[in-house]
Amino acid sequence: MDPTTGKKRVAKLSIVALHGEHINDSISRNEHGLDTCDYSLRFEPNPRASQVANLVVQQALSMIHAVSQERTDVFDNQWRGPHGYNPLLMLFNQQHPDAVCVAFESLAMEVQQVLASQPPLVEAEVPAKVFGDIHGQFRDMLLLMFHYGFPQSTKGPNFIFNGDWADRGAHQLEVISLVFALKAMFPTRVWLVRGNHEDCVQNQAMGHAGLHAQCHHRLGQQSGHRAFQAMQYVFNWLPLGCLINRKILVVHGGIGDGNWSLNHLRNVHRPLDHDAIPRYSVIYNVLWSDPIPDDPGDPREHFGVHDSPRDHHAHMIITFGSDVTAEFCARNHLEMVVRSHQALKEGFGYDVMHDGRCVRVFSARDYEGCGNDGAVLSITEGAQHRGQPPHYLVRAQVIRSLACPKRDD
């Protein structure tokens, strides 16, 4: 916006503007860019949370510091834990998987009770950090927190974890344990949003790469079954969205046909299991739908709503164009929709789409061979001028892909 004429001009933003001046110091093939890291991370116990939740968060902070000192960057699936120690056992400070299961069941029950006391559309204030899909890439999660912040009880931003913590990655149990512990420790500063992979059937359909298989592989048959069931009880209570300052809606997938109000999410009855989700088109698409890219070409292909290839065009999942996003935001008095759900090949971990009204964030780098960066979104309030409504600054904070060469332009 030109302040002298009041006219808008669209131009390409430099990567430095989005990533910051230290873009070349961000995580590369050989180093973490230690000058950008946050050394102020400190453990703050919460006497209102359980001993298990306190322990997991404290251990995670210890692991963050250990990871930050690893001089060689590695893919998450090649990482064997801090100093080669099993990261799941370390999180719970246990020596045997059965003991981990007992502690995890207790943690899951604690989180379920917190979620049940909160609405299906939660609300948060700025400043806020939004994590996208993590998919079991625990080391990437720790690095993002080391570089860009860790939840605190009384200061700093709200943290929103926008679903898909499980399936495909090597450390799914660690990721789920940490997001659960963070929710228990900071119930009104950490917000968990359900993704399409927080689902019992989806976790089993993923086969050997799924959460169901990993529970059994890492915890044993009996303990693995118990831990898996405990997770599903929590998943069924997860909120379906988070509203930031009543102006930015965070959902995992998208808005589907967009012809609905936020009250659809406010009025959802939980627990919501796998069989119940397809009965509600809005909910199904909040978890599964995708925006249509802003490509030039035939407007009939890039506007409106279309069937999605995700369900083989079975008319359940919808892709939506920029006109749908604009109308949805206007109807609900929103400025933006933040979503996750997609990793782009050699992407930056984020995308700005639909005239700035739709932003994608994805936190697992090098996901399934995509060569993508991992990112979180930092959302802050800009300077407010007299008589003008507040506006919000959304900045992507990135860790570099290992697979894709550096991109400096």
Cα–Cα distance for residue pair 294/10, rounded to 1 Å? 14
Partnered with residue 362 across adjacent β-strands are 133
Q: Which stretch of DSSP H or E encloses residue 368? A: none
CA angle at residue 330 from 350 to 264, to 5 degrees?
85
Is 197 part of the annotated catalytic residue set?
yes
DSSP 10: -
Catalytic, out of 32, 147, 197, 354: 197
Residue 289 near residue 320 (C-beta atoms within 8 A): yes
User: Tokens representing 291?
Assistant: 């925006």
Residue 183 per-residue DSSP state: H
CA–CA dist 170, 75 (Å, integer): 10
Q: Are 91 and 58 in contact (CB under 8 A)?
A: no
Tell which residue, 232, 265, 218, 274, has the closest CA to residue 98: 218
Pairing of strands 290-291, 305-307: unpaired
- State both tokens at 161: 């974890």
Tokens matching residue 248: 């930015």
Q: Choose among 124, 224, 270, 252: nearest CA to 183.
A: 124
| C-alpha–C-alpha distance, residues 302 and 316, integer Å | 19
Of the candidates 11, 241, 40, 29, the one whose C-alpha atom is nearest the C-alpha of residue 156 is 40
Amino acid at 98: D
Q: Which amino acid is at 407?
A: R
What lies within 8 Å, CB to CB, of 368 at 6+ separation is 168, 343
Instruction: Find the helix or strand (DSSP H, E) in which 122 lies.
Output: strand 121-124
CB 395 within 8 A of CB 378: yes
Q: Identify whether the C-beta of residue 371 lies closer than 8 Å to the C-beta of residue 404.
A: yes
Could you count the other beta carbons within 10 Å of the beta carbon of residue 6?
7
As annotated, the active-site residues are 197
